[in-house]
Amino acid sequence: MSTELLPPVAPDVLADAVEQLSARLRKKLDAAISGCADQASTTADGAAEVHFGEDATVTLRPGPSGTVTNAEQAVCTCLLAPRCLHRTAVLGAAPIADGEGETGGGDDSGTGKAAGSGTASDTGAGPEEAAPTAPAADVAATVVSPAELTAAQVLAATVLWDAAAEALSAGVTAGGAVVQAELLRAAHTARLAGLPRAEAAALRVVRSLRAARERSEGQRLADLTEAFRELLAGTALLASGSADTDAAGSARRVYEQGGSLRVYGLCREPVLSATGYGGVTTHLVGSDGAGYTVSDVRPGGLARVKGAGSASVALGGAVLDHAGLARGGLRIVGATVSADGRLGAGRGVSATPLRGVDWSEEPAAALFTRPVQEAMAAVLADGAPEAGGPGRTAPSLLGCDVEVIGAAGDSVVVRVAGEGPLLRLRPAHPHPELPHAANLRRIAEHPGLALRVLGRPDLDRAATLRSLAVGPVPGASATLRLPDAWKGRADLGYDRLQGEHFPRETAGSADCGPVTAGPDPLAEAPLWRVRRLLETGVAGGRRAVAEAGRGTDAASLSARLTRAELGVAAHLAQALTTEAGRRPRDTFGRLTDPSADAYARAWLASAVHLAAAERSLVAASWL
């Protein structure tokens, strides 16, 4: 179903429209939504129209922001309007507008999204998106101690937990427009109560539910499972009343005064999100070794991603573009910096170009001289919160010198220099029109090639690095030979490696065939059975989990986990299937406990334990 002609709709507008429908019309809503977006057309004044026969026409007339933000902007010509099926179906088919949470897509004070936001797009979600509203970059943040949540915030989190639990219990098969509307209403309540992080998590779940029901290309059940885990974990913490205001998030990214900075470019990264945003993030390193980012991410698709790579940097009047900044540097006066290293733009910020540094020079060289095991331990400790937390930021960049072994599927197997571990290099973004995958395929054709790699560890895969840029290894003979204009590095998302960039002694080795990627403790552990059980619940709802708990499958799951000394995982999986099948009824066959609360808590407990166990195995694979 194409929704390109329909403007985004605010969550509360859709929720109100669904609530106004009668019970009879609600049963017909999913069928009415299906296909109605294909009948949309655009009028001369920019409104969107959808015709239902000759008697009913729905018109969506967005405001100046391009979003339908109130009920008066959606009208229908039928006699039942505004409580009609036509109007609600069109609102349900339109994209959901971003909220004001810290994870909504959009530009941020001229700097866009943070590094790594775009990695979510190859999974349908990311980690981890920037706020659509820009903070005043010339105003320093006031440092205050975390305060307790208000009673209204705890109540809003409880309402959102109940809605999320019901959506999880329904699953994709029964998670239609009515279930989604309840989640959207609860998300709107959370926003009004000052819980932007919870609102953003709920919107991710609704978008993923829609994509799964429409069987959209690129949508993965694992992403929806992760979205449910983050939503339930975050709302459970907030609803308990024990969290502080930091767990609520902020509607605006807080920027603090950073004084005078000298930053040097490392690489560029394309950003293409599943929610319609595109652009570029340029990674920088400060003279003290700290990491920074400058981004330009706005609404747009692949064309904007390609163009943004050479667009001007909107930072303090800098005359560099992103391609020049990735290989150059800046001296910034009056810098404003967010907690995650994003550089803000504002009236008090000025920037002048500096000569860039090679990866063999400080401060960039420190990224590649640190032992990979030590660097990965720091990434696991600092780059992501505990499993089950309210969200996960993109991990820090990791650099290392490697030797190419060969191709293993869509990965390049390399060995870290100095008899280090085997790693898998994967594209940072799999889009076929971006050169990531093509560059890695060409690298895999040159076994024995010495390579300097900069990338982001994939915390969901064993010993895997999402490579962003490569360069020659100083002093190595069989290494890359890049043009002088590239300043000793190739951005895999923008530059295209050619035959002349490789040494002749490693050429013509493509016939050696695929290689073994080494042991994968994550794949060898029977934890995949727990993940399948959790994904079964997301896809088919509570009934599917209860059915999976009957017969020999449940006994086999418990036995395999116990034999692998994963007794806690076995206990939690057993508790989940037991709770899923617990549906007590009275003598008249009516449910005596229709709440999905206990089931959602059992599912969440198993999901949080699975995430922690898999993270431990990923850490072990880097040793």
Q: Which of 140-144, 157-161, 172-176 has the lowest mean pLDDT?
A: 140-144
Please give the pLDDT value at position 404. 94
Instruction: Classify 9 as helix, strand or coil.
Output: strand
In tens, the pLDDT along 292-348 reads: 999 898 888 888 999 999 998 888 777 789 999 999 999 999 888 888 889 988 778
Please give the pLDDT value at position 146. 54
In contact, 202 and 195? CB cutoff 8 Å: no
Nearest to 321 by CA among 358, 301, 294: 294
Nearest to 317 by CA among 352, 341, 355: 352
Mean local confidence (pLDDT), 243-262: 81
pLDDT band at 208 (very low <50, low <70, confident <90, very high): very high
In contact, 211 and 219? CB cutoff 8 Å: yes
d(CA 538, CA 535): 5
- What's the whole-model pTM score? 0.83
Q: Which of 160-169, 250-259, 437-446, 568-577 has the lowest mean pLDDT?
A: 250-259
pLDDT band at 179 (very low <50, low <70, confident <90, very high): very high
Nearest to 311 by CA among 300, 335, 295, 330: 295
For helices 151-174 and 221-239, give the axis angle rounded to 10 degrees: 160
**Is the bond into 82 cis (omega within 30 degrees of 0)?**
yes
Asked if residue 428 has pLDDT above 80, the reply is yes
Quote the mean pLDDT of the chain. Answer: 84
Instruction: Classify 614 as helix, strand or coil.
Output: helix
Asked if residue 103 has pLDDT above 70, the reply is no
- CA 205 vs CA 111, 131, 184, 227: distances in Å: 26, 18, 10, 6
Q: Which of 21-25, 114-118, 382-386, 606-610 has the lowest mean pLDDT?
A: 114-118
pLDDT band at 483 (very low <50, low <70, confident <90, very high): very high
**Nearby residues of 116 by Cβ (< 8 Å), 6 or more positions away:** 127, 128, 269, 281, 393, 394, 395, 456
Residue found by looking up tokens 């427009």 in the block: 177
| Dihedral angle of Cα 370, 342, 297, 184, to the nearest 10 degrees | 110
Residue found by looking up tokens 């017969």 in the block: 551
Asked if residue 478 has pLDDT above 80, the reply is yes
In tens, the pLDDT along 548-581 reads: 888 667 778 888 899 988 999 999 999 999 999 8
d(CA 281, CA 332): 18
Mean local confidence (pLDDT), 92-103: 73
d(CA 599, CA 610): 17
**Nearby residues of 266 by Cβ (< 8 Å), 6 or more positions away:** 283, 284, 285, 326, 359, 364, 367, 397, 454, 469, 489
3-state secondary structure 296-338: EEEECCHHHHHHHCCCECCCCCCCCEHHHHHCCEEEEEEEEEE
Asked if residue 17 has pLDDT above 90, the reply is yes
Please give the pLDDT value at position 525. 87
Please give the pLDDT value at position 451. 95
3-state secondary structure 572-602: HHHHHHHHHHCCCECCCCCECCCCCHHHHHH
Mean local confidence (pLDDT), 247-275: 84
pLDDT band at 590 (very low <50, low <70, confident <90, very high): confident
How close are the terminal C-alpha atoms of the chain, in Å?
46
Please give the pLDDT value at position 239. 94
Please give the pLDDT value at position 122. 36
d(CA 37, CA 55): 18
- Other beta carbons less than 10 A from residue 535's beta carbon: 17
Please give the pLDDT value at position 70. 93
d(CA 170, CA 187): 18
Question: Going by DSSP bridges, is the β-strand pair 56-60/48-52 parallel, antiparallel, or unpaired?
Answer: antiparallel
Asked if residue 58 has pLDDT above 50, the reply is yes
Please give the pLDDT value at position 99. 66
d(CA 52, CA 75): 13
In tens, the pLDDT along 360-391 reads: 999 999 999 999 888 888 887 765 544 344 44
Question: Going by DSSP bridges, is the β-strand pair 490-491/411-416 parallel, antiparallel, or unpaired?
Answer: unpaired
Please give the pLDDT value at position 134. 33
Phi then psi for 269, rounded to 5 degrees?
A: -135, 120
Asked if residue 119 has pLDDT above 50, the reply is no
Please give the pLDDT value at position 112. 35
Asked if residue 407 has pLDDT above 60, the reply is yes
Please give the pLDDT value at position 512. 52
Asked if residue 193 has pLDDT above 50, the reply is yes
d(CA 332, CA 335): 6
In tens, the pLDDT along 127-157 reads: 333 333 333 333 333 333 457 899 999 999 9
Q: CA angle 99-101-103, nearest 5°? A: 105
- CA 507 vs CA 3, 406, 459, 486: distances in Å: 47, 12, 33, 22
d(CA 256, CA 270): 26
Mean local confidence (pLDDT), 39-52: 88
Is the dihedral angle over the CA atoms 146, 148, 152, 156 positive or is it negative? positive
Asked if residue 393 has pLDDT above 80, the reply is no
Please give the pLDDT value at position 3. 62
The two three-digit tokens of residue 285, written as one number? 């390193």
* pLDDT above 90 as % of the chain: 55
d(CA 336, CA 378): 25
Instruction: Classify 255 as helix, strand or coil.
Output: strand
Q: pLDDT higher for 377 or 612?
A: 612
**Nearby residues of 21 by Cβ (< 8 Å), 6 or more positions away:** 29, 83, 85, 88
Q: Which of 18-27, 140-149, 365-374, 479-488 has the lowest mean pLDDT?
A: 140-149
The two three-digit tokens of residue 195, written as one number? 């819980």
Phi then psi for 490, rounded to 5 degrees?
A: -125, 120
